[in-house]
């Protein structure tokens, strides 16, 4: 048992949209360097959970913590804005749909955050972008505009852009599900590389094989609750709950 505080911790998260309760008391803990995959049927609350972690959604009740700092603090107005902007700088998020700025080159997409939010010099940010693009295999695309890139390339730039802020955790919400099948592996390979470097990651995915390869722990959500969690070797080979078995049968 590690006594280290978790990198990400969610306690008793509840969230409703109108009359529909989408998160019904979620507890989640991700240790430093750990990789947790979140699986579950469409509509089970996976995206809402991820979005709650960086406060794109405000929880009705419960707590979110990042490296010992409470994310959903009871602050108001500008004080909360300052707080949440600082928090978000420490979390990289990659969505299903590449949200690169179309009017900016790859270089500017990546350097914008560090230059504007962190006051990094342009030359330092350029060197950083070049290093990150090499890591994701796209150094030759540094001056390209997003419209000239494939979906897989855009998603790799999106990952590089998130990494440029040197986040404490990376959140992936179905980063590959909008991609043509032949482009999925190049994005997964980047995520595996990050895993090998012990980046803390929370990955929502429908790809069970990838989850099995990359995750230390898999968490199965259904109907706004965590039904079951455990290492992939146990979850995929011998799920304990009927709901988990029924879900996994469709994939394995
Ligand atoms: P998942 O990512 O597992 O598919 P979501 O978290 O996106 O699930 O959605 C869970 C439920 O919450 C769904 O029924 C969805 O329609 C609903 N929902 C999500 N976001 C909103 C929103 N902003 N307003 C209303 N309902 C929402
Ligand atoms: Mg979703």
Q: Which ligand is nearest to the CA of 45?
A: 1
Protein residues whose CB sits closer than 6 Å to any atom of ligand 1: 17, 22, 40, 42-48
Q: Which ligand is nearest to the CA of 178?
A: 2
- Tell me, in angstroms, the distance from the centre of ligand 2 to residue 241's CA: 22
Which of 37, 45, 55 most suits a substitution to test ligand 1, by most atoms within 8 Å of the C-beta?
A: 45
pLDDT in the model for residue 176: 95
Q: Which residue, by CA, sits nearest to atom 13 of ligand 1?
A: 43
In the chain, what percentage of residues exceed pLDDT 90? 94
CA distance 79 to 114: 22
Beta strand spans in the chain (E): 8-17, 20-30, 35-39, 61-66, 69-70, 91-94, 169-173, 201-204, 217-222, 225-230
6: left (phi over 0), alpha (psi -120 to 50) or beta: beta
CB atoms within 10 A of CB 213: 14
Tokens of 167: 């986040």
Whole-complex ipTM: 0.98
Cα 43 → chain centroid: 18
Which of 43, 51, 172 most suits a substitution to test ligand 1, by most atoms within 8 Å of the C-beta?
A: 43
Within 90-171, residue ranges assigned H as helices are 106-118, 122-135, 151-163
| CB-CB contact of 219 with 37 (8 Å) | yes
Q: What is the pLDDT of residues 21-41, one digit of tens each?
A: 999 999 999 999 999 999 999
- Tell me, in angstroms, the distance from the centre of ligand 1 to residue 160's CA: 27
CB atoms within 10 A of CB 89: 16
User: Band of the pLDDT at 2, cuts 50, 70, 90?
Assistant: low
Cα 83 → chain centroid: 20
Q: What is the pLDDT of residues 187-242, one digit of tens each?
A: 999 999 999 999 999 999 999 999 999 999 999 999 999 999 999 999 999 999 99
For the CA of 45, the nearest atom of ligand 1: 6
């Amino acid at each position: 048992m590690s006594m280290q505080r978790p990198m990400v911790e969610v306690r008793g998260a509840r969230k409703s949209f109108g009359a529909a309760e989408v998160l019904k008391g979620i507890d989640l803990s991700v240790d430093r360097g750990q990789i947790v995959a979140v699986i579950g049927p469409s509509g089970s609350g996976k995206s809402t959970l991820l979005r709650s972690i960086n406060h794109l959604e405000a929880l009705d009740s419960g707590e979110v913590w990042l490296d010992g700092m409470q994310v959903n603090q009871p602050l108001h107005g500008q004080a909360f804005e300052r707080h949440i902007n600082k928090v978000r700088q420490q979390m990289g998020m990659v969505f299903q749909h590449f949200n690169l700025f179309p009017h900016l080159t790859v270089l500017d997409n990546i350097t914008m955050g560090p230059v504007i939010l962190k006051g990094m010099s342009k030359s330092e940010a350029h060197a950083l972008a070049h290093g990150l693009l090499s890591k994701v295999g796209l150094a030759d695309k540094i001056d390209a505009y997003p419209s000239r890139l494939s979906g897989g390339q855009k998603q790799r730039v999106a990952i590089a852009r998130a990494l440029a802020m040197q986040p404490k955790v990376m959140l992936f919400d179905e980063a590959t599900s909008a991609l043509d099948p032949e482009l999925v592996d190049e994005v997964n390979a980047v995520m595996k590389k990050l895993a090998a470097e012990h980046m803390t990651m929370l990955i929502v995915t429908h790809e069970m094989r990838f989850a099995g390869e990359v995750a230390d722990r898999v968490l199965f959500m259904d109907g706004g609750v965590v039904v079951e969690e455990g290492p992939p070797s146990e979850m995929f080979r011998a799920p304990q709950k009927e709901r988990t078995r029924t879900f996994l049968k469709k994939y394995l």
